[in-house]
Amino acid sequence: MYLYDELDRTLVGERVAEFRGQVARRLSGELNEDEFRPLRLMNGVYLQLHAYMLRISIPYGTLSSAQLRMLAHVARRYDRGYGHFTTRQNIQYHWIKLEELPDAMADLASVGMHGMQTSGNVVRNITTDQWAGVAPDEIEDPRIWAEVIRQHVTLHPEFSFMPRKFKIAVGTSRHDRAALRIHDMALQMHRNGAGETGFEVMVGGGLGRTAFIAKTIKPFLHKRDVLSYVEAVLRTYNQFGRRDNIYKARIKILVHELGAEAFAKEVEAEWQSIKDGPLALDEEVVADIASRFRYPAYARLQNSPAELAEAPGGDRRFEAWIGNSVAKHKVPGYAIVTLSLKPEGGTPGDVTAGQMDAIADVADRYSFGEIRVGHEQNLALPHVAQRDLPAVWRALNAIGVAIPNVNLITDIIACPGLDYCSLANARSIPIAQEITRRFRNLDLARDLGRLHVNISGCINACGHHHVGHIGILGVEKNGEEFYQITLGGKADENATLGTLIGPAVPYAQVADLVEDIAAAYIELRERPDELFIDTVKRTGVEPFRERVYAAR
Amino acid sequence: MTSPLQQKLKINGPVVVTANRLADGAVVYRGEGGWTTKLDSAAVTASAAVVQDLLAAARADGLHAVDAYVAPVQVTEDGGVRPGNLRERIRSSGPTIDLPLQALRAKVDHVPVR
Amino acid sequence: MPLVKQGHIVEDRYIRVLDDAPIPDGVPVIVTAERFLADTAELAAREGPVGVLWPNNRKVAELEPWLGRVALVALTFPKFRDGRAYSQARLLRERYGFRGELRATGEVLRDQFLFLLRAGFDSLEVTKAADAEAFAAAVSTYSVFYQPSTDGRLAVRRRRLPPQAQATGREGEEAGQRHFEPR
């Protein structure tokens, strides 16, 4: 849990005051919309179909219970009683009024939260995986480095008007749970031959109209050099990224057009000039930031405590939840609990104010007051004692966030789509809802196993459909909603873009088609425990295409 | 459903000019010299010249509404005005899904919502 | 288009000279990059300060050999959203040590003032008169900055350390420090 100090709080407070002034100047007409738009975007304020949308930054997906309660308050007081967790570990509100925004932001600032740089052509929320700091397989807590970079790029005078947005992710486990390779820039921690830890730097990943997997431009960067190297990449991008065409302005296009090697050389040349300057990180500065991450005073506990063995007397639902939603923790006797925000018929990632408050209470009682947000649009409680799992399950079950469908076919990632978003071509939420109904049977969902479905309502790919095991992309044909289906995408350390399996199908057929894909998998798999994604890899998409499109 | 702000102006039937209210983002339609939230009260036209005027007036009124554009409508037999495509239907009557609070209430009351 | 320098609206002493016009003697002039690079000898020989208007899509490294002879560099923001000149400004100040007047031209609005100062600009051709008049208010919006920069203010991470540690190290806030203090 990063503790803001007085300096951090002052900055956020000054930002609120500045925005209040900017809103006043807009409402009075002193600023027109063209002048105001980039300013409101820099605070995460979009204009959508029905209302303004406010996106609040949740740095590396970490929330205190006090912060979660404030998010509930904002939902109640300024919105329609709920919020939406996004694929970048942020939260969005869809019914905000411009004239009330400064007050909402002042309330959020009181707990150190803000919408700074959640939109606009700046560096956006720096993401990690939601198990940061507690995952057994991480080298060190990636959030420390995310915070080091976050501070540096916040209101950075040189990089506030870049060609386009810039998304950074940091990982320190071999297994990539943060989708590093679809980011503009990613830092992956490694140990080198001398036992030192440093970062592999990858750039140029991204989805959207032209999807790319990031390329490695620096195999090993010493920690001391992180900020100067990030600066060199941003400066190269700021100067040479395309400004003539909004669809070709991301760094992935620059890297593609120059070639990764040539791009790496440009960055290296710039970096050599600045690496020993003020941005060189001395250990004192990093230690200072690291010291502001507070870790719980864990009790000395054993794994598999008696309380777990005696759990809610053979309650199958509890057992299913333990097997599905509870993961190993680096500290003995503890566990990481995932809260599924994917109920049958629900909107993926939506949480009501009442649920937020209730989850905050559970976090206070059983997770040292801390909650995490994952890019899969689920939450997590990162510090649960195993002996408390029965009580936690009962509490979460009552809130409706203990459905044991994590990583299963009904654990869908979906963007808001045409129901909310002015960029969309088609709806995504009703598609997700129908799929959750078709696969409501948990035995069936468990039999299908790990199966990531990603739905995007337009080519901007906020639902990350390119890297879904099953990817669904909404398009428009003659005023009707149609959907293209891809198979075989992956977002992890073996990141791959999915393959189209056939012509787009109309809205009413999508859920049928997904059922046919599931049936095809069951037929084609070598063994029941061959994962869907591995079957697709083994067979290719052709056998799926044949079966699914046979009758269409 | 491509963002209408990017579309060229082509009038193939009755249209209205629509935008979002500055203060709260609500959907509004250009009517007689001002804005209305009711589609039935909007100025409907199939004339490109009239639309240009409406659009110009709308854009000149940036203090009250923003991102004005031309949207298709259908005029019913009794003179009512309906949205002309799915996007405009959603803008006019809201998301096609239950909002979470409604869904929760529905579970509690066992009363179907919408 | 008011010119703001050292926090005040001032008269612009510089004359912009078109590419095909004769360069007047004895007065400060601003010429385009093309003119400057074509006529360096002539410009060096004349009386009066020389300024060059440098486009934002051309590397300032090209200008570096001549910086000693240039009193002013004007950089360009064709739209305020086009932020290439921020990088150019920092390179001029911090890489090439330019100490002359660094002017922001083009679309220069109030909400960019602080970024511009911190990037190294010390004079701004402000697009709106009202913005120029609000300059003092605009630049006192923030007192906390995370990054080291050329305006001499201490970055947050140094401010957090005990006083003696603040002053040491390669922090280099002194590098590129200019006389202008916005407060």
CA–CA distance, A381 with A360 (Å, rounded to integer): 10
CA separation, residue A467 to residues A205, A542, C57, C155 (Å): 12, 18, 36, 39
Judged by phi (left if over 0) then psi (alpha if -120 to 50, else beta), residue A535 lies in alpha
Quickly count: other Cβ atoms within 10 Å of residue A368's Cβ.
Answer: 20
* Predicted local distance difference test score (pLDDT) of residue B1: 60
Q: Mean pLDDT of residues grouped by 10 in chain A (552 residues)?
A: 82 93 95 91 93 95 97 96 95 96 96 93 94 96 96 94 97 96 98 96 96 97 97 98 96 98 98 95 91 93 87 80 97 98 96 97 98 96 97 96 98 97 97 98 97 97 97 96 98 96 97 98 97 98 95 79
Residue C164: predicted pLDDT: 60
Residue A404's DSSP bridge partners are none
Identify whether residues C88 and C174 lie together within a single domain: no
Closest alpha carbon to A107 in A146, A79, A143: A79
**Distance, CA of A219 to chain centre:** 25
| pLDDT on residue A83 | 97
Contact C142 A39 (CB under 8 A): no
Dihedral, CA of residue C143, residue C144, residue C150 and residue C153, to nearest 10: 70
Angstrom distance (rounded) from CA A330 to CA A389: 16
Asked if C140 has any chain A CB less than 8 Å from its own CB, the reply is: no
CATH classification of the domain holding A443: 3.30.413.10
Lookup: tokens for A272: 């050599």
What Cα–Cα distance (Å) separates residue A244 from each residue in A66, A236, A240, B92? Answer: 44, 17, 11, 35
- 3-state SS class at A79: coil
Last residue of a domain, one of A374, A398, A422: A398
In a domain, A314, yes or no: yes
Contact A235, A254 (CB under 8 A): no
Closest residue by Cα to residue B98 from B109, B88, B82, B84: B109
Q: In whole angstroms, what is the distance from residue A25 CA to residue B69 CA?
A: 24
Contact A476 B100 (CB under 8 A): no
What is the structure's pLDDT at A53?
A: 96
In a domain, A128, yes or no: no
Q: Are B111 and B104 in contact (CB under 8 A)?
A: no
How far is residue A551's CA from residue A530's CA, in Å, rounded to a whole number? 27
Chains C, B in contact, 3 or more Cβ pairs below 8 Å:
no
Q: In the listed set A291, A318, A334, which residue is the last one of a domain according to the structure?
A: A291
Q: What are phi and psi of A56, to 5 degrees?
A: -105, 135
Evaluate the CA torsion angle B54, B55, B61, B67 in order and state its sign. positive
The pLDDT value given to residue B8: 57
My answer on whether C83 and C158 are in the same domain is no
**Rounded Cα distance, A45 and A444, in Å:** 41
Looking at the predicted structure, is the pLDDT value of residue B17 above 90?
A: yes
CB atoms within 10 A of CB A452: 22
- The structure tokens listed for C113 are 């003032």
Q: Locate tokens 């939603």: which residue? A: A325
Six-digit token pair at A457? 């309502």
Compute CA A314 distance to the chain's CA centroid, rounded to the nearest angstrom.
35
**Are A434 and A492 found together in one domain?**
yes
Task: Give chain A positions within 8 Å (CB) of B87.
Answer: 49, 418
Same domain, A285 and A360: no
- Same domain (yes/no): C124, C150: no
Q: H-type helices in A6-162, by residue range?
A: 6-27, 33-41, 65-78, 101-109, 142-153
Residues of A in contact with C141 (CB under 8 A): 14, 17-18, 21
B23 and A CB contact within 8 Å? yes
pLDDT at C174 over 90: no
Query: Do residue A277 and residue C83 have CB atoms under 8 angstroms apart?
Result: no
Which tokens is A8 given? 């951090």
Q: Is A278 in Cβ contact with C172 (below 8 Å)? A: yes
Query: Using 50, 70 and 90 to split pLDDT, how confident is the model at C157?
Result: low
- Residue at a domain's end among A372, A398, A424: A398
Say whether B24 and A98 touch across the interface (CB within 8 A). Answer: yes
Same domain, A139 and A266: yes
Q: With CB atoms and an 8 Å threshold, state whether A155 touches C83.
A: no
Exposure on the CB side of residue A157, measured as CA atoms within 13 A: 28
Residues of C in contact with A38 (CB under 8 A): 80-81
Quick check: is A225 in a domain? yes
Instruction: Say how far residue B40 (Cα) sits from the centre of its chain.
Output: 10
- Residue-wise burial string across A266-287, b where 16 or more C-beta atoms lie within 10 A, e elsewhere: bbeebbeebbebbbbbbeebbe
Residues C16 and C101 in one domain: yes
At CA C174, angle to CA C168 and CA C178, rounded to 5?
160
**H/E stretch holding A332:** none
Q: How many residues does chain C have?
A: 183
Helix (H) or strand (E) holding A358: helix A353-366
Q: Which residues in chain B have their CB less than 8 angstroms from residue A96's CB? A: 25
Question: In whole angstroms, what is the distance from residue A531 CA to residue A450 CA?
Answer: 7
Burial class (CB in 10 A: 0-12, 13-18, 19+), A135: buried
The confidence score (pLDDT) of residue C182 equals: 32
Question: Per-residue pLDDT tens for C73-91?
Answer: 999 999 999 999 999 999 9
Q: Does C35 touch chain A (CB under 8 A)?
A: no
A84: CATH: 3.90.480.20
What is the number of other CB atoms lying within 10 angstroms of the CB of residue C63?
21
Pairing of strands C3-5, C8-10: antiparallel
The candidate with the shortest Cα–Cα distance to A171, out of A491, A390, A386, is A491
Q: Is the pLDDT of residue B4 over 90?
A: no
Tell me: do A153 and A218 sit in the same domain: yes
- In DSSP terms, which residues pair with A187 in a beta bridge? A170, A201
Considering the entire predicted model, what is its pTM?
0.92
Looking at the structure, do residues A352 and A429 belong to the same domain, yes or no?
no
Answer yes or no: do C131 and C161 share one domain: no
Is the domain of A152 the same as that of A243? yes
Q: Specify the CATH number for the domain of residue C129.
A: 3.20.20.70
Domain boundary among C137, C153, C170: C137
Neighbours of B10 (CB within 10 A): 8
Question: What is the rounded distance in angstroms from the CA atom of residue A63 to the CA atom of residue A327?
Answer: 19
A523 and A451: one domain? yes
CB contact under 8 A, C87 and A238: yes
Residues C36 and C11 in one domain: yes
Residue type, C34: E
Contacts of A39 in chain C (CB under 8 A): 111
Q: What is the DSSP letter of A261?
A: H
Quick one: C65 and C99 in the same domain? yes
Verify that C49 and C127 share a domain, yes or no. Answer: yes
Partner-chain contact A418 B103, CB within 8 Å: no
Give the residue from chain A lying closest to C81, CA to CA: A161
Q: Which residues pair with C10 in a beta bridge?
A: C3
Interface contact C80-A243, CB threshold 8 A: no
* The CA-based dihedral angle spanning residues B56, B57, B59, B63, taken in that order and rounded to the nearest 10 degrees: 160
Do A439 and A542 lie in a common domain?
A: yes
pLDDT at residue C148, rounded to an integer: 80
Kindly state whether B6 is in contact with chain A, defined as any CB-CB distance less than 8 angstroms.
Answer: no
* B112 CB within 8 Å of a chain A CB: no
A138 DSSP 8-state letter: B
Q: What is the pLDDT of residue C150?
A: 61
- So what's the pLDDT on residue C173? 38
CB contacts, 8 Å: B90 with chain A? 49-50, 418-419
Collect all residues of chain A within an 8 Å Cβ-Cβ radius of residue B1: 418, 424-426, 476, 479, 481
Q: A189 and A139 in contact (C-beta within 8 Å)?
A: yes
Residue A101 sits in the same domain as residue A151: no
Residue-level pLDDT at C170: 33
Residues C97 and C155 in one domain: no
- The residue segments making up the domain with residue C182 are 142-183
Torsion of CA A532, A533, A535, A539, to 10 degrees: 140
Q: Are residues C93 and C180 in the same domain?
A: no
- With residue B105 as reference, give the H or E element that holds it: helix B100-109
Q: ipTM higher than 0.90? A: yes
d(CA B86, CA A426): 9
3-class state of residue A508 by DSSP = helix
Which residues, in sequence order, are CB contacts of A185 under 8 Å at separation 6+?
A166, A167, A168, A169, A201, A202, A203, A214, A230, A233, A251
What are residue B90's DSSP bridge partners? none
How high is the pLDDT of residue C146?
86
Instruction: State how far the Cα of A401 lies from the Cα of B101, in Å rounded to an integer.
Output: 15
Structurally, chain A folds into a number of domains equal to 4
Residues A276 and A227 in one domain: yes
State the average pLDDT over residues C109-127: 94
Task: Compute φ and ψ for A412, nearest 5 degrees.
Answer: -90, 140
Distance of CA A521 to the CA centre of its chain: 28
Return d(Cα B17, Cα B20) in angstroms, integer: 11
Please check whether residue C182 touches A, CB under 8 A: no
Please state, in angstroms and rounded to a whole number, the distance separating the CA atoms of residues C154 and C157. Answer: 8
Structure-token match 């809130």, residue found: A399
User: Can you read off the two tokens belonging to residue A280?
Assistant: 């060189």
For residue A361 the two structure tokens come to 């209470």
Same domain (yes/no): A49, A167: no
Same structural domain, C104 and C74: yes
- Dist CA A164 CA A132 (whole Å): 28
Q: Above 50 in pLDDT, residue C183?
A: no
Instruction: Give the pLDDT of residue C43.
Output: 87
How far apart, in whole angstroms, are the C-alpha atoms of residue A283 and residue A404?
43
Task: Identify whether residues A264 and A388 lie together within a single domain.
Answer: no
Q: Is B90 in the A-facing interface, judged by CB distances under 8 Å?
A: yes
Mean pLDDT for B75-90 is 94
Total count of domains within chain C: 2
Question: Are C78 and C106 members of one domain?
Answer: yes
DSSP A265: H
Cβ within 8 Å, pair A350-B3 = no
Question: Measured between beta carbons, which residues in chain A are less than 8 angstroms from residue C157?
Answer: 151, 285, 288-289
Chain A: closest CA distance from residue C46 (Å): 34
What range does the domain containing A98 cover? 6-109
Residue A115 within any structural domain of the chain = no
